Amino acid sequence: MSDTLFQDLFAPHDRPLQQDLDRCVHCGLCLNACPTYRELGLEADSPRGRIYQMVQVSQGKLAINDEYIEHIDLCLACRACETACPSGVQYGKLVEAARGQIDANRSLPWWQRLVRWFVFDRLLTSPFLLKVTGYKLWVYQSSGLQRLVRRLGILKLFGRLAEIEALSPAVETPFFFDKVGKVFPAEGETRYRVAFLAGCIANISFARMNEATVRVLQKNGCEVTLPPDQGCCGALQVHAGLRDIGRRQAKQNIAAFTQDNFDAVITNAAGCGSVVKEYPELFEHDPEWHAKAVEFSSNVKDVTEFLAGIDLNRDLAPLPLRVTYQDSCHLLHGQKVRTPPRAMLAAIPQLEFRELPLSEICCGSAGVYNVEHTEMSMALLEKKMQMVATTGADTIVTANPGCMLQLRVGAARFGQGQRVMHVVELLDEAYRAAERI
Ligand code: SF4
Ligand code: SF4
């Protein structure tokens, strides 16, 4: 028995399944859709090449060694290859399972294990720790200390800390955590009863975006409930291969959101929505939770998807902006939602929409990818901003907080300081302006 197969005995659920690997016929039609292949031109960093390596590992012909891990880690998990693939390869499912297998098999230095445990298992899943961290960051960012530290370049003395700090989100007080557990009534007649998954980091760094989402839903006749027992969706953990934490978070959310019969469970973060819609994949070995996950996930909708499916409140004021839209990978390739965000923008009077060339290619955000693979991430971002410049847009809109963060960095470093917003924030702006007319 090979080392890899022996080690797999300790993590039997998390490995790419043979029937999923077998779907790839090695045609190569996905190669040009892949950002890392486009950047490096290396087969080993293409979808086909990565699948080939997974097959080799599954057959015991390749060990889970540093080289293999590097190629799997460098993948953005953007899933553009899935959209391009004519054979229906579920690449996202494969890469997440491969990362779970890697996590069970690799030995990391103790301090890296400790950091991963603290961030993924404790910080992201604890509203208390997130609030404490948020307040500390708020003091650092709003007291002038951040400006001083950046000007003096102190963090450059600590390896990559300066880069990580530069990419970290600004916090927004008051935090959205205060709204969790509350019910917000519909404006006018109640047409729908929906639940809102508020996320984890979004509660401290995208609090205004979450508020805008609730207001837009209220404007559209929704009573919006924020179940008190909801938690982090587990997306960042699943992407990092920490699938047991993902399962724990999935169970918490399934229990929290199925205590009532909602017309839909709404997310405004495409990365979260994608994982939440795919909770069943985490329980393929567990029939009881698999059935619960299927029932729950079938009711989840991205906010743009939900709004495009109802009779939209058209009481929107004109917004004479020149706007372009960057597809969020996990909305377009993960959830196959392309038209709804564009339909929402088209509903705003006087908004001039400019389609972004190559909007289906990742901006380099990909969860914590921009922190872990900053060089590749920035190379992709610079190209993205060159495309944005061709549109002449003054506002860049997307549908995922992670993409917003990355595009804000792009607008500052490689762009013309364009405004970066979520679709729902622009809708909210138009509704609120209409109230003032
Ligand atoms: S993943 Fe799909 S498109 Fe890519 S090589 Fe395999 S079968 Fe072809
Ligand atoms: S998920 Fe994205 S980066 Fe990874 S192989 Fe597919 S296209 Fe390439």
* Residue with CA nearest ligand 2 atom 4: 75
The verdict on the CB of residue 167 being under 6 Å from ligand 1 is no
Edge-to-edge, what's the strand order for the sheet holding 322-325? Answer: 352-353, 322-325, 395-398, 419-422
Q: Is the dihedral of CA 215, 232, 164, 270 positive or negative?
A: negative
pLDDT per residue over 231-255, tens digit each? 999 999 988 888 899 999 999 999 9
* Cα–Cα–Cα angle for 87, 76, 176, rounded to 5 degrees: 115
* Ligand 2: lining residues by beta carbon, under 6 Å: 33-36, 47, 50, 75-81, 91
How far is Cα 102 from Cα 105, in angstroms, rounded to an integer?
5
Is the pLDDT score of 71 beyond 70?
yes
Would you state the pLDDT for residue 13? 67
Backbone angles phi, psi at 43, to 5 degrees: -55, -40
Cα distances (angstroms) measured from residue 351 to each of 215, 318, 344 = 21, 7, 11
Report pLDDT digits (tens) over 375-429.
999 999 999 999 999 999 999 999 999 999 999 999 999 989 999 999 999 999 9
On whether the CB atoms of residues 197 and 267 are closer than 8 A, the answer is yes
Cα-based distances in Å from 5 to 11, 104, 225, 244: 10, 12, 46, 20
Of 295, 286, 221, 285, nearest in space to 253 by CA: 295
Protein residue with least CA distance to atom 7, ligand 1 = 24
Distance of CA 29 from the midpoint of ligand 1 (Å)? 6
Ligand nearest 330 Cα, by number?
2
pLDDT band at 12 (very low <50, low <70, confident <90, very high): low
Atom of ligand 2 nearest to the CA of 77: 1
Report how far residue 58's alpha carbon sits from residue 89's, in angstroms, rounded to the nearest whole number: 17
Domains, the chain, in order of start with CATH, read 3-105 (1.10.1060.10), 110-167 (no CATH), 176-308 (3.40.50.1860), 322-436 (3.40.50)
Prediction pTM value:
0.92
